[in-house]
Amino acid sequence: MENNHPVLREIIELFVEPSRKARYLYFWEKSKRRAQLLDELLHDARDLRADRSRELVPTLSDPDQLLALMRKQGAGKTCYVFGRSTFDGEQADLRAALADVAGRMREVIVFARDTQLAFVEEHDGRQFILSMK
């Protein structure tokens, strides 16, 4: 697993509030700060851009429902996963990644790079879809 994975930087550039972006990029550049970066990014959504974030209410714990939701928005078969997952820092099958994290309150982001679409789940179970559209 690469501490400063280029896809993680892409997520920061796309979805973090402009006023907070420099802080996250600083963490990204310092491999020893990776845990702090993920903790702050995924603990709650306050630093995510509100115009690119939609909370899922009610939350979804069925990976097939999440998969259908993401596929409807164009997600392909693979994704990148960052956070508390067995796939942390890896490219993975989207369905397998969602099955690993959905409804488990693990602080994770599942990012479909091809469509710049992401699923985020916080420690308290709140879920979000991040999208450029």
pTM tops 0.85: yes
pLDDT for the residue 2: 52
Selection from 36, 40, 31 nearest residue 1 by Cα? 31
pLDDT mean for each 10 residues of the chain (133 residues): 80 97 94 90 90 94 96 97 95 97 94 97 94 90
Task: Provide the pLDDT for residue 3.
Answer: 57
Q: Residue 91: beta bridge partners?
A: 80
Cβ atoms of 128 and 48 within 8 Å: the answer is yes
Instruction: Compute the distance between CA of residue 27 and CA of residue 24 in angstroms, rounded to an integer.
Output: 5
The kind and range of the H/E element at 120 are strand 117-121
Please report the pLDDT score of residue 133 as a whole number.
80
Encoded tokens for 17: 């509030």
